[in-house]
Structure 1
Amino acid sequence: MKKVLCIIVGMLCLLPLAAKVKLPAIIGNDMVLQQNTNANLWGWASHSRKITVKTSWDNKIYTTTSASDGTWKLQVQTPSAGDPYTITISDGEPVTLTNVLIGEVWLCSGQSNMEMPVKGFRGQPVKGSCDVIATASPSDNIRMVTLKINSSQTLLDDCVATPWMESTPTNVADFSATAYFFAGYLRKVLNVPIGVICSSWGGSKIESWIHKEVYTEKFPE
């Protein structure tokens, strides 16, 4: 019996470890990808696994192989702005991202003037916010994501963030006012879906937004 158990355990160890690919927080359902470009997609899988990505706007299949540490990255070619699409990513077990829009994507960054939500801070209302919140609708084709406060002196390949959110009264109320009003203006002018990523930290010092090596080189004192 002991010999049989050892053989079974040995056979299980030889089987490939299959698991769904893991994606960074910024890549998910309801996201917006930049139009007419080669957009980066990346994530993690078991090491040396074949990764396939299929985009529904052209049914094209892209392939790559994960590195020894499980990381992988590739680029997909995006079309002009368009309706919701799907992206299927698989290492043998598929993960399908739904309701993906193609349009214009902007990063909105700064201090409290960028962090301030549409509903305002306590005792600091935002002019016109009630109407904007009440009339927000997914048909506005504005998608939002907020990065959580974090600091690092080295580059990160992931972040902590809210999911991508559609324009609804609840979501708009808590999102950056400056970023949302800017997105609404772009939507009217360009008539394409707009994605806004807010990374702001009220009261933060400008030095913390500059790469450490660049800062010390320019200001050695």
Structure 2
Amino acid sequence: MEHTQRVADAPAPTDGRRSRWTEHRRARREDLVGAAVEAVRLAGPEFSVDDVARSAGVSKTVIYRYFGDKDELIDAVLDRISQAILLPRLLGELVADRGDDRAQLRAVIAAFVSLIEDEPALYRFAYAQAGRTGRADLVAATEHAVATALGRILGARLTDAGRPAEGAVTWAYGIVGMVQLAAHWWSAARTVSAAELVDQLTELAHGGLGTLLPPRA
């Protein structure tokens, strides 16, 4: 009886099969998100689940095993675009210290414009999803992430110089909003070259910040 009680009180062995299945499901879902990103590139912002199935080489039934509906798939694609494509490039350029404010601004603006040039279908897709009620908004989230990072950099510059830093966040959002809206207009109008657009936006952004920021040490 005592032996039986000890066996009953012993912890249950870890179910390795459950953890392997969880990892398999996560990896399979990630593969399908990658296929959906390719479907957007090929079919455009109005891609269908059939397009994703063809890209992945599976049936639609398989897609719906991992995503409850197309909206859930869209959210996963938006997250992939943000985390793997947009933010790494933009934030990477933002934090790279070039020792010159104008050069640093130009690099970030050029990175954003090049994204529109390199990934036009993904850019149109992300913008088409902006403002969806109750759903992820990649455009707003990216603007917020970049503006927050830029605001921290501007604030640090001002604080280090012993100057008030209250305006840093306002300026950061102003610059990000200006670049985003102008670049979105340009993506359809194409009245100037990409290089000219970058130069024009850099002059405007630096013209303002150059009068507001203390000189670099």
- Normalising by the smaller structure, the TM-score range is under 0.3
Max Rg structure: 2
Q: TM-score, normalised to structure 2's length?
A: 0.28
Bigger relative contact order, structure 1 or 2, given CA contacts below 8 A and separation 6+? Answer: 1
Higher helix proportion, which one? 2
Higher strand proportion, which one? 1
Q: TM-score, normalised to structure 1's length?
A: 0.27
